[in-house]
Structure 1
Amino acid sequence: MFTGIVEERGEIVAREDLDQAARFSIRGPLVTSDAAYGDSIAVNGVCLTVVEHADGIFTVDVMAETLRRSSLADLSPGAPVNLERAMAADGRFGGHIVQGHVDGVGTIASISPTPNWTVVRIGLPADLERYVVEKGSITLDGTSLTVSAVGAGDDGPWLEVSLIPTTLAETTLGLAEVGSPVNLEVDVIAKYVERLTGAGTSRQEKGE
């Protein structure tokens, strides 16, 4: 499990395309400082397993399903990535519950700087709209953020987040441009609530 508090901005140093998979080597001196084989590290919000590590670089294998459901398929050497180690049991819970399981990919629709923060609007896949609420939590490329606004337009539903200078400086969101893809993970609690209430309604309808 993760919290969405990005520990460092790493970099893709190598990519090897395999049969229905890809192997990435990623530079991340901080997250590899205590890494071991089999550890979990979130890369742009995707939970991946360390298969090799040395000299501040770790290697992960990414299967076709993950490539299809996330923006990792678009990454090439030189690309910056957000990195976070799995949460330690005695650590502070600074963000929210983040599983590292991407629900979909959004697209940055607009970036509006102000003197003290930047408002970013992201086009939201229609099937995720029901899980996103104003003042709720959302994970964007592995970064835990608060939804500042939601809405819908001719191009479909959208959400907005307001980014402080620290977030812009320490994560890949500060380098993103209009049109950039963003990995989205909605609040897992919303999905469980939907599942439970839906199952309850179904049993009642059946007279169980």
Structure 2
Amino acid sequence: MFTGLIETIGTVTEYNKNDTSSSGGNGVTLIISDCSPILEDVQLGDSISTNGVCLTVTEFDPSKTWFKVGIAPETLRKTNLESLTKGSKVNLERAVTANVRLGGHIVQGHVDTIATITKKESDENAINYTFKLRDVEFINYIVHKGFIAIDGTSLTVTNVDNEKAEFSIMLISYSQSKVILSKKEVGDTVNIEVDLTGKLIEKQIEINLQKHINDDSSSLNQLITQLIEKKLKERLD
């Protein structure tokens, strides 16, 4: 679990598409450097959010200046990590511990989809961004003044257009130097994780509705039956 408060910005120094080393597993791996502040207590198997994606540390150097992570095929399909190249900057955050204050919101590091920046406009010392979702169904979980994680950064939604599957956020002056979003332009993509709360509520509603529908004696079925009988009676009268 993460908070969406980025600890540091790292640099991709290697992007391997078929890493045959013992820590590579014959898959896609990244080596990320310029991140010593978050590696002081690093251990193999630790989770580090990289542009909002929860990745597992498979290797790090003795001086703790870089670390390696593997990327699963499903992760490549859901995120924009495949677009990273040598020199790319990435947002980094360690998984929370029991004594960490939750200053952002609960972020899993499980990216739902990507979005494309459609607008970038200055608003005094802040920047307004508008994004269009690749997978439009996720707009159902994005609400005005709700939480959203963009490349792992916890931000507040300022506007939602359900028909266009677009939403907006405002990046304040302080955050502009702390996260990679300020360097991105119209046409660039970002990783999106919607607030888990909406998905949990939807799931519970679906389960309960299905339970009522399958039970002929449920209050919902009784109500539907009464309504149908009432309408039929009105037509006969």
TM-score normalised by the shorter chain: which range applies?
over 0.9
Is the alpha carbon distance of 1:152 and 1:127 closer, same or farther for their aligned partners in structure 2, counting shifts above 3 Å?
closer
Structure-2 separation of matches of 1:180 and 1:122: 10
Which structure 2 residue ranges, 5 or more long, are not aligned? 20-25, 219-237
Distance 2:195 2:139 in 1: 12
Partner Cα separation in structure 1 for residue 122 and residue 36 of structure 2 = 31
- What does residue 48 of structure 1 align with? 55
After TM superposition, the score normalised by the length of structure 2 is: 0.84
Q: 1:23 aligns with which of 21, 26, 29?
A: 29
Q: Superposed, which structure 2 residues align to 1:68-87 within 5 Å?
A: 68-87=77-96
SS at match of 1:30: helix
- Higher normalized strand content (fraction of residues): 1
Which of the numbers 132, 136, 149 marks the counterpart of 1:139? 149
Give the Cα–Cα distance (whole angstroms) in 1 for the partners of residues 165 and 29 of structure 2.
34
- The letter of the residue matching 2:132 is G
Residue 130 of structure 1 deviates from its aligned partner by 0.4
Whether the 8 Å CA contact 2:156–2:169 is kept in 1: the answer is yes
Provide structure 1 residue ranges, at least 5 long, that are not aligned to the other structure.
none
**CA distance in 1 between partners of 2:49 and 2:96 (Å):** 10
Shift of 1:116: 2.1
> 2:2 aligns to what SS in structure 1?
coil
After superposition, residues 77-156 of structure 1 pair within 5 angstroms as 77-124=86-133, 125-152=135-162, 156=164
Distance 1:150 1:83 in 2: 27
Larger radius of gyration: 2
Aligned pairs, number: 206
Higher relative contact order (CA 8 A, sep 6+): 1
Task: Return the TM-score normalized by structure 1.
Answer: 0.96
Select the structure that is richer in helix: 2
Please list the CA deviations of residues 141-185 of structure 1 after superposition, one character each: whole Å capped at 9, or x if unmatched.
Answer: 0000000111156xx310100010121111000111111111000
Give the corresponding residue for 2:212.
204
Q: Is the 1:167–1:173 contact (alpha carbons within 8 Å) kept by the matching residues of 2?
A: no
RMSD: 1.3
- Secondary structure of the residue aligned to 1:150 is strand
Q: Report what 1:61 is aligned to.
A: 70
Give the CA deviation at 1:104. Answer: 0.3
Identity level (%): 38
Q: Deviations over 1:68-111 (max 9, x none)?
A: 11010110110000000001111100110100000000001110
Deviates more, 1:16-25 or 1:175-184: 16-25
Deviation larger for 159-168 or 16-25: 16-25
* Contact 1:112–1:118 (CA under 8 A) maintained in structure 2: yes
Q: What is residue 6 of structure 1 aligned with on the other side?
A: 6
In 1, the alpha carbon distance for the partners of 2:138 and 2:162 equals 13
Report the Cα distance in structure 1 between the residues aligned to 2:58 and 2:112, rounded to whole angstroms: 24
